Amino acid sequence: MLDAVLFRGRLAETAAVLKEKRGFDLDVAAFEALESERKQVQARTQELQNLRNTRSKAIGAAKGKGEDVSALMAEVAGIGDELKAGEAKLEDLLKRWNDLAARVPNIPHDSVPLGGNEHANVEQHRWGTPRSFDFPVKDHVDLGARNGWLDGESAAKLSGARFTVLRGDLARLHRALAQFMLELHTSEHGYLEVNVPLLVNANAMYGTGQLPKFEEDLFVTETGELRRYLIPTSEVSLTNLVNDVIVDDAQLPMRMTAHSMCFRAEAGSYGRDVRGMIRQHQFEKVELVSIARPEESHAEHERMTRAAEVVLEKLGLPYRRMLLCSGDMGFSAIKTFDLEVWLPSQNTFREISSCSNCDAFQARRMQARWRNPATGKNEPVHTLNGSGVAVGRALIAVMENYQNADGSITIPEVLRPYFGGRDRIA
């Protein structure tokens, strides 16, 4: 969440910035009312604490003189009851304040362009040239169905819409992509491979910003009184490894990667994206997470985005990098780069990776800190996350960009070792 100083000392300014950059209406009146009540209750609580101390000393003095202290003791007991009520009230006010603050998005960095939607995003650069085909281009669904590799009907019988069964060489290609990405990030990009839980508690979802605002987008499981959420991305599990931890300076930057299943309710209609594997309830992703010193987070953001770009370049997939505008970024981010891969069937670029710098926003929610050797103080770390990349969308891009007229698919050279040297699947 945002620094409490912004709510308590610069509320009007913060509200104006959020309105300008995010189109977000900060409930100034609610924050002011809570802060006013908190000050009143806290002042009274301090007054009662002082009064109790004074009366307690008076009891001691009276006892030393052999005087009756029953009236003073009754007064102290009454003060104690009021103090307990005041402390409970303060706790309730703090919870209400935190609940309100937890729904406020991060403030975009000054380098982020203003805008309300994707049309204001700014292209940074492109790599590769889209292939020219001398035959009618098929999309990944038709390519998969033709060979019996991609089966949405069987998946629908098992689980409903927006699930897919992969078979044979297409399933193998999907696995090879994930393996290739993990090996690249661990051996060349310096990320530590981590295998993480797919089920997490509410505290973990709160830490990275999925709760409370986006609960409707999550799948939840309940067994008796045990409630757990299926992760929408392994960012949740990886980032929360530093939840309530004071990280030693020598451990930073901490770079981690994980290949995992991801689950998203994706409520609503998405038109053509519900066809095939573009937008599914269950998908796989290779995630990149960095925990960094504050002064290094922007350089780390560039480094992470570049690591994702290398994946696409080694696969020979044309892409472009987009700097997202203020209104198109995620809730927790101060700056986001999207990588969009070329899909021939749609004759356009589609998102395949999103890399975000969250500054100290998630760290404050998680109480994730580092011991700054310069000051000796514990300060919030900066957290970053990115797709390195979405496995299903990489599969789609490979299928479409490497398709042949006979329905076969040429295997990118970097993936051929996973196929015993074969150069195509058919």
pLDDT tens digits for range 290-328: 999 999 999 999 999 999 999 999 999 999 999 999 999
Cis ω before 212 (30° cut-off from 0): yes
Q: Is pLDDT of 269 > 70?
A: no
How far is C-alpha 426 from the geometric centre of its chain's CA atoms? 38
pLDDT of residue 178: 98
Q: What is the mean pLDDT of residues 408-412?
A: 97
Q: Positive or negative CA dihedral for 320, 323, 328, 332?
A: positive
Catalytic residue among 237, 297, 332, 354: 354
Q: What is the mean pLDDT of residues 227-232?
A: 98
Active site includes 123? no
Active site includes 175? no
Q: What percent of the chain has pLDDT over 90?
A: 87
Q: Is 123 marked within a binding site?
A: no
Q: What is the mean pLDDT of residues 263-271?
A: 73
Smallest Cα–Cα separation from 409: which of 425, 389, 420, 387? 425
Q: What is the spatial distance between Cα 14 and Cα 310, in angstroms, rounded to a whole number?
A: 38
277's CB contacts (< 8 A; 6+ apart) are 140, 141, 150, 164, 283, 392, 393, 395, 396
Q: Is 265 marked within a binding site?
A: yes
33's CB contacts (< 8 A; 6+ apart) are none
pLDDT tens digits for range 146-166: 878 999 999 999 999 999 999
Q: Is pLDDT of 271 > 70?
A: no
Paired tokens of 309: 């770009």
Q: Is pLDDT of 268 > 70?
A: no
Active site includes 351? yes
Q: What is the mean pLDDT of residues 387-406?
A: 98
Paired tokens of 221: 């499981």
Smallest Cα–Cα separation from 382: which of 283, 293, 319, 306? 293
pLDDT of residue 358: 98
Q: Is 269 marked within a binding site?
A: no
pLDDT of residue 329: 96
pLDDT tens digits for range 13-37: 999 999 999 999 999 999 999 999 9
DSSP lists the bridge partners of residue 125 as: 321
Cis ω before 389 (30° cut-off from 0): yes
DSSP lists the bridge partners of residue 378 as: 371
Q: Is pLDDT of 267 > 70?
A: no
Catalytic residue among 38, 279, 306, 350: 279
Q: Residue 212 carries which side chain, given as an amino acid letter?
A: P
pLDDT of residue 57: 84
Q: Is 264 marked within a binding site?
A: yes
Q: What is the spatial distance between Cα 237 and Cα 279, in angstroms, rounded to a whole number?
A: 22
The more confidently predicted of residues 70 and 12 is: 12
pLDDT of residue 199: 98
pLDDT of residue 71: 82
pLDDT of residue 272: 67
Q: Is pLDDT of 56 > 90?
A: no
pLDDT of residue 31: 96
Domains and CATH numbers, the chain: 27-102 (1.10.287.40), 118-425 (3.30.930.10)
pLDDT tens digits for range 200-217: 999 999 999 999 999 999
Paired tokens of 239: 């980032």
pLDDT tens digits for range 166-204: 999 999 999 999 999 999 999 999 999 999 999 999 999
Catalytic residue among 52, 162, 264, 321: 264
The more confidently predicted of residues 280 and 80 is: 280
pLDDT tens digits for range 59-90: 888 887 888 878 888 887 888 888 999 999 99
Residue 367 — very low, low, confident or very high, per pLDDT cuts 50/70/90? Answer: very high
Whether the full predicted model's pTM is greater than 0.95, yes or no, is no
CB-side exposure of 325: number of CA atoms within 13 Å?
A: 17
Q: What is the spatial distance between Cα 266 and Cα 386, in angstroms, rounded to a whole number?
A: 19
3-state secondary structure of 38: helix
Q: Is 354 marked within a binding site?
A: yes
Q: Is 351 marked within a binding site?
A: yes
Paired tokens of 186: 């661990």
Catalytic residue among 193, 351, 408, 424: 351
Smallest Cα–Cα separation from 368: which of 358, 382, 347? 382
Q: Are strands 409-410 and 424-425 parallel, antiparallel or unpaired?
A: antiparallel
Helix (H) or strand (E) run with residue 164 in it = none
Q: Is 103 marked within a binding site?
A: no
The more confidently predicted of residues 258 and 55 is: 258
Q: Is 231 marked within a binding site?
A: no
Q: What is the spatial distance between Cα 169 and Cα 184, in angstroms, rounded to a whole number?
A: 22
Catalytic residue among 162, 321, 365, 393: 393
Smallest Cα–Cα separation from 278: which of 178, 139, 145, 153? 139
What phi, psi does 196 have (nearest 5°)? -120, 160
176's CB contacts (< 8 A; 6+ apart) are 415, 418, 419
Q: Is 387 marked within a binding site?
A: yes
pLDDT of residue 381: 98
**Mean pLDDT for the chain overall:** 95
pLDDT of residue 196: 98
Q: Is 385 marked within a binding site?
A: yes
